Amino acid sequence: MQLAKVIGDVVVTRKDDNLTGITLLVLQPIAADGTPSGRTLVAVDAAGAGVGETVFFVRGKEASFPWHPTPVPADAGVVGIVDHWDLG
Amino acid sequence: MQLAKVIGDVVVTRKDDNLTGITLLVLQPIAADGTPSGRTLVAVDAAGAGVGETVFFVRGKEASFPWHPTPVPADAGVVGIVDHWDLG
Amino acid sequence: MQLAKVIGDVVVTRKDDNLTGITLLVLQPIAADGTPSGRTLVAVDAAGAGVGETVFFVRGKEASFPWHPTPVPADAGVVGIVDHWDLG
Amino acid sequence: MQLAKVIGDVVVTRKDDNLTGITLLVLQPIAADGTPSGRTLVAVDAAGAGVGETVFFVRGKEASFPWHPTPVPADAGVVGIVDHWDLG
Amino acid sequence: MQLAKVIGDVVVTRKDDNLTGITLLVLQPIAADGTPSGRTLVAVDAAGAGVGETVFFVRGKEASFPWHPTPVPADAGVVGIVDHWDLG
């Protein structure tokens, strides 16, 4: 998984039926030091996150696990909202 | 998932049977600011997209979910046509 | 999926039993403009492709779908031979 | 899999239920010569690792195998703590 | 899949039970011209390879296919030892 900032959302009316009612967020991945790291991407939201929050997201089929057994065609999903992280 | 522009299509007559009747699009991924981001790729189309449209696509086995249970050998698929996106 | 040129083949006698009888091709991925794009790789061939042909290939478990239900341990597979592609 | 150093942990209270009770570690992947290699990431811990230890981790759905059949939405997981490695 | 040289092995005593008895090799991927290409990684060995040999390996869940149905938590596995390859 990676840490990310939620930086926006996407409005899509014509889409696969299994995406109906699912929020699509635009994420900017961040490194452990909080700086942007890698490309922006679109993720489904399983955690109720909003713009400006720090989240962590999962890539791959695992992104659809929260909607199991619905075969949601997603390859990235927010699965938690981060309180804080510590570097030891 | 990523945002992308549809920039072309591919004609393939000799192919795996489970790809028969499925449109193959050439995509240019774009970043949240609309600029090209990353390599062009070929994706199956589950949304009825056309050249010039902005779409979002999914990578991995999830690309074949719209044809489930047919085992379509695809690793990228257009699953929605984007109306607009907002950066907060 | 990505477009690629077939640039060679690999001879492997000691291998996983489920790869027996499957041709292994060396591919050079190409971008939409026909130029090389990314690293060469080895792919199983489900389309009967030969050296010099332009193909498109799939990454991931999907590469083994044409041999389903045999669990072919492959992560890249040629699933079509390209006639031509058009950029709109 | 890749070798990595555990460099921190993440505190997440609002998350997918299937992540409850699972430790989330911040990893810095390292190359075979011990130097940092690639981006930091967040991984679930199936090995009881702590900050400062050298581990090896797996990417993809395989990261959730230790919790099978619970569909843990994770794409990276620590599956072993490294004693040492040898370059021949 | 990719071609690689086996450059070492990893000793791990505390690990997921399903990795017990499986050899872990350090690989350096190589390009079609034989030069190093990309990061070193750790792979399970399903082919009986040794340090110094040229192999080809698979990424993803497919790496665990040779141990099916044991859910080996591996994302890279050596599935063949290369005799030679030809560029046409």
**Smallest Cβ distance to A14: which of B37, B66, B81?**
B81
Q: Would the pLDDT of C59 be above 90? A: yes
Show me where the domains of chain E are located.
2-81
CATH topology of domain E2-81: OB fold (Dihydrolipoamide Acetyltransferase, E2P) (2.40.50)
- Beta C76-87 vs C54-59: how paired, if at all? antiparallel
CB-based contact E59:C75 (threshold 8 Å): yes
Q: What's the pLDDT at A81? A: 96
From the CA of E32, how many Å to the nearest CA of chain D?
22
A&B contacts, CB < 8 Å: 97
In terms of CA atoms, which chain C residue is nearest residue B63?
A: C62
Distance CA(E47)–CA(E56), nearest Å, equals 10
Phi, psi dihedral angles at C17 (to 5 degrees)? -55, -30
Q: What's the pLDDT at D62? A: 85
**Smallest Cβ distance to B39: which of C31, C48, C79?**
C31
Q: Would the pLDDT of D71 be above 90? A: no
pLDDT digits (tens, 9 = 90+) for A4-33: 999 999 999 899 999 999 999 999 999 999
Q: Would the pLDDT of B71 be above 90? A: no
B44 pLDDT band (50/70/90 cuts)?
A: very high
Q: What's the pLDDT at A62? A: 85
List beta partners, residue D81.
D55, E14
Q: Would the pLDDT of D3 be above 90? A: yes
Distance CA(D34)–CA(D17), nearest Å, equals 36
Q: What's the pLDDT at E61? A: 85
Q: What's the pLDDT at E29? A: 97
In terms of CA atoms, which chain A residue is nearest residue D77?
A: A1
B18 touching chain C per CB within 8 A: yes
Domain A2-78 CATH assignment equals 3.30.230.70: no
**Smallest Cβ distance to C39: which of E38, E58, E83?**
E38
Q: What's the pLDDT at A10? A: 95
Per-residue pLDDT of chain E (88 residues; tens, 9 = 90+): 999 999 999 999 899 999 999 999 999 999 999 999 999 999 999 999 999 999 999 998 889 888 988 889 999 999 999 999 999 7
- Beta E24-30 vs E2-15: how paired, if at all? antiparallel
B68 pLDDT band (50/70/90 cuts)?
A: confident
Hey, how many other C-beta atoms are within 10 angstroms of the C-beta on D69? Answer: 8
Subunits with at least 3 CB pairs below 8 A relative to chain E? C, D
Q: What's the pLDDT at D1? A: 94
CB-based contact B52:B30 (threshold 8 Å): no
What's the pTM value of the predicted model, to 2 decimals? 0.89
Q: What's the pLDDT at B65? A: 86
pLDDT digits (tens, 9 = 90+) for D5-58: 999 999 998 999 999 999 999 999 999 999 999 999 999 999 999 999 999 999
Q: What's the pLDDT at A61? A: 84
